[in-house]
Structure 1
Amino acid sequence: MGKLMDKVKDLAHRHDDKVDQGIGKAGDQADQRTGGKYTEQIDKGVDAAQQHTGEGDTQR
């Protein structure tokens, strides 16, 4: 399992821009489906997740 996680982390770091976009889109979908009720919490979660990819850039 350790080698698999290392490969996933490596891919995420090499393609951090795409991962960040995917995280952002997922956050937007969650926000839309909850009717904006949890926008602030979703944004915090998206930002935290995006900081774990690449160089910690956040795109929204």
Structure 2
Amino acid sequence: MGIDDIVSKGKELFEGAKDKVTDALGSDKVEEVSDKVLDGAADAAKKVAPDQYDAKIDEVRDNIDGAIGE
């Protein structure tokens, strides 16, 4: 097996792994978990920040969710 064959095989393995990770990150379970984590972080921030910042905290939470979720 030559170096070109090894590189080619490495590329194939990488592409296959990348596809699996992409599929997993787009799954409903990941979305559910990320929503729970973001909700928990937003709730914690609301407990320590003055009430006047609740809307901003919700906005940031929604922006993050939009960036990582479906």
Shorter-chain TM-score range = 0.5 to 0.7
Whole-angstrom CA distance in 2 between matches of 1:12 and 1:41: 27
Count of residue pairs brought into register by the alignment: 48
| Structure that is richer in helix per residue | 2
The 2-side partners of 1:12 and 1:32 are apart by 30
Q: Which has the higher contact order (CA 8 A, sep 6+)?
A: 1
Cα separation, 1, equivalents of 2:25 and 2:60: 17
CA RMSD of aligned residues (A): 2.2
Does the residue aligned with 1:43 lie in a helix, a strand or coil? helix
Structure 1 unmatched ranges of 5 or more? 1-5, 56-60
Match of 1:53 in 2: 68
From the CA coordinates, give the structure whose radius of gyration is larger. Answer: 2
Counterpart of 1:25? 40
Q: Which runs of 5+ in 2 are unaligned?
A: 1-17
Deviations 1:5-59 (A, max 9, x none): x7xx84543311111111011001101111323101100001111112332xxxx
- Please give the TM-score of this superposition, normalised by the length of structure 1: 0.62
Deviation >2 Å, runs of 4+: 9-14
Instruction: State percent identity of aligned pairs.
Output: 21
Q: TM-score, normalised by structure 2?
A: 0.55
